Copies of this chain bind each other. A is one copy, B any other.
Amino acid sequence: MDLGERSYDVVIGCGLLDEPSAWRSPASDASAMIVSNSTVAPLYLERLARSLQGRHYRVHSVELPDGEQHKDWSTLNKVFDALLDARCERATTLYALGGGVVGDVAGFAAACFMRGVPYIQLPTTLLAQVDSSVGGKTAINHALGKNMIGAFHQPRVVVCDLDTLSTLPDRELRAGLAEVIKYGPIADWAFFEWTERHLDDLLARERPALLHAVGRSCEIKADIVARDEREGGLRAVLNFGHTFGHAIEAGLGFGTWLHGEAVAAGMVMAAALSVRLGMLDSEAAARLTSLLARCGLPVQAPALAIERYIELMRLDKKRRDGETRFTLLEGRGRAVIHPADDALVREVVAQTIRRST
């Protein structure tokens, strides 16, 4: 991840939790705080804590409730409580051990605690490994919108231990693959075709396929973030499927659909919008829908009222001058930020919505 003096490594491999020497060792003269959740902590917390003994003055930990519905102020405050109870200091390093929610909450806590302390990402879900752990976006949700309160705060290193994917529930693996599948259409059509060919290997969790998928996803993301760290423009291409996806998540209530599931349906909608605008050929859109369906992901929008979609998308952070803007495909392997008027968006929602059967 090339960001000048804030550059850092993304280390991908097996057995990394037990081998902190394989990734850059942080300062050992201060304490460490491992932030995890109630699902991941029983599996991996003790192993990581043991690895960090001797590297840190003291190793503390805090366990958060699991789930997107807990990505809020009260969970964030549990981290602050733990840090202050343990007398942590500005030199304390936070370790985010878990999925996207743990990474986002721990990263935002690190951004705000004493106005900023270092942190390390140890993502244990595919979604977090290929997306949220890289790039320094941290946030919590607000009742009126997802990721509305947050900070740009880069981790010191991102450590993707592929072994942790072996305990990932199947539904979460598939949701993570939605973000892997995203990178091809926006930046590298050859990688999309690779995912078409290797989907079964990925679903079977074969290590070489996972290594390539995580590695190439992180490369593409790092390349985009390096060119636009604070989302001046280009970085928003990573949001393909997310404007519709966030509306789905908020409309159903956070946590009803997994983030990756909402993004899958959102990508189908964004691709349909791209086709409607004459920017993308319909065969490419059909192949994307078909791959997502093979992956067991939703390719229809949930049956919310169409006006509810319009209203929820008005909260999108890309919105400017009162106009909702979408990440759309301009051909295969190329994304752009583009406004679309409400009438057209209504048609696309109507076309992709799930009919009650």
- Residues of B near A151 (CB, < 8 A) are 111-112, 115-116, 151
- Cα–Cα distance between A144 and B57 once the two chains are bound (Å): 22
Question: Is A346's beta carbon under 8 Å from chain B?
Answer: no
* A112 and B57 alpha carbons, distance in the complex (Å): 31
A148 to B82, CA, bound (A): 13
Chain B residue nearest in CB terms to A151: B115
Residue A306, interface by CB 8 Å: no
**Would you call A320 and B89 a contact (CB within 8 A)?**
yes
Pick the interface stretch among A164-172, A311-319, A329-337: A311-319
A13 CB within 8 Å of chain B: no
Q: A226 to B57: give the CA distance in the assembly, Å.
A: 33
Interface residues of A in 88-139 (CB under 8 A from B): 89-91, 111-116, 137, 139
- Give the distance in Å from the alpha carbon of A308 to the alpha carbon of B290 in the complex: 66
Asked if A145 is at the interface (CB within 8 A of a chain B CB), the reply is: yes
A152 at interface by CB-CB < 8 Å: yes
A194 within 8 A of partner (CB)? no
| Interface residue A30 (Cβ < 8 Å from any Cβ of B) | yes
Task: Collect the chain B residues with CB atoms within 8 Å of residue A111's CB.
Answer: 151
Chain B residues with CB under 8 Å of A89's CB are 317, 319-320
Do A139 and B152 touch (CB < 8 A)? no
CA separation between A353 and B205, bound complex, in Å? 67
* A115 x B321 contact (CB < 8 A): no
Interface check A5, CB cutoff 8 A? no
Q: How far is the CB of A230 from chain B (nearest CB, A)?
A: 7
Chain copies in the assembled complex: 2
A residues 136-160 in Cβ contact with B at 8 Å: 137, 139, 142, 144-145, 148-152
On chain B, the residues within 8 Å of A87 by CB distance are: 314-315
A30 closest partner in B (C-beta): B321
In the bound complex, what is the Cα–Cα distance between A73 and B84 (angstroms)? 16
Query: Which of B30, B116, B320, B322 meets A90, CB within 8 Å?
Result: B320
- Closest B-chain residue to A139, C-beta based? B115
A85 contacts chain B at the CB level, 8 A cutoff: yes
Q: How far is the CB of A238 from chain B (nearest CB, A)?
A: 14
Residues 33-92 of A at the B interface (beta carbon under 8 Å): 57, 73, 77, 80-81, 84-85, 87, 89-91
Q: Which residues of B contact A231 (CB under 8 A)?
A: 115
Contact A84 B144 (CB under 8 A): yes
Q: Does A29 contact B (CB under 8 A)?
A: yes
Residues of B within 8 A of A144 (CB): 81, 84-85
The 7 closest A-B pairs by CB, nearest first: A84-B144, A115-B150, A112-B149, A114-B317, A89-B319, A115-B152, A115-B151
Given contacts A81-B144, A90-B320, 9 further A-B contacts (CB under 8 A): A80-B148, A80-B149, A84-B148, A84-B315, A89-B317, A91-B321, A114-B317, A115-B151, A116-B230
